[in-house]
Amino acid sequence: MADLFVALIHYPVLNRNGQVVTSAITSLDLHDIARSARTYGVRAMYVIHPVAEQRRFALRVLDHWRLGYGRLYDSRRREALDLVEVVEDLEMAVRAAEMVARALPLLVYTSAKVSGGGVSYAQLRNKVESPFGQPIMLMFGTGFGLAPPMRERADIILDAVRGPDAYNHLSVRAAASVILDRVAGR
């Protein structure tokens, strides 16, 4: 099975007006995506933010659960949050994943926007299940999704998660859970 990584990206992302912005880290995203990542066998989750103060905030949250009172309160949450690394940019995450997997990961762009030409979940699952597969890093955007440069940086564009009609406004936490289940669930 290929090594699987998650990148939670806070810059460059879009706001509701389509402008490139930096979004804030939320503790809910850290907790919920880490728990999904641990459930589905992700090797590491990289929280990417260019602002030092935001990275310090994430580290304070993580330290509470990994080193502080939270460690004793809920060891399962600590186990999930142990997967999280906070880094400044995507390149740092890619280099860290490469060190873990001993190979450069394929970058998979995710989006709620249906754009056509994407790889299906079955195709990506086949890559994940390949015994000699290249590592895979799923890129999740916060705010209103990843900015165009992230799409250009990706090796694979994944089909959007779709329901029975046109409505599609999942939180990044929910989308990450759905996608992880589709590509790594039993």
* Other CB atoms within 10 A of residue 139 CB: 25
Nearest to 93, CA basis, from 3, 8, 183: 8
How much is the pTM? Answer: 0.95
Strand ranges (DSSP E) for 1-153? 4-9, 13-14, 20-21, 44-48, 84-87, 106-109, 136-141
pLDDT for 37-51, tens place per residue? 999 999 999 999 999
Structural fold of domain 4-184: Alpha/beta knot (3.40.1280)
Q: What is the pLDDT along the chain (186 residues), one digit of tens a residue?
A: 899 999 999 999 999 999 999 999 999 999 999 999 999 999 999 999 999 999 999 999 999 888 866 666 667 788 999 999 999 999 999 999 999 999 999 999 999 987 777 899 999 999 999 988 899 999 999 999 999 999 999 999 999 999 999 898 899 999 999 999 999 999
Domain segments of the chain as ranges = 4-184
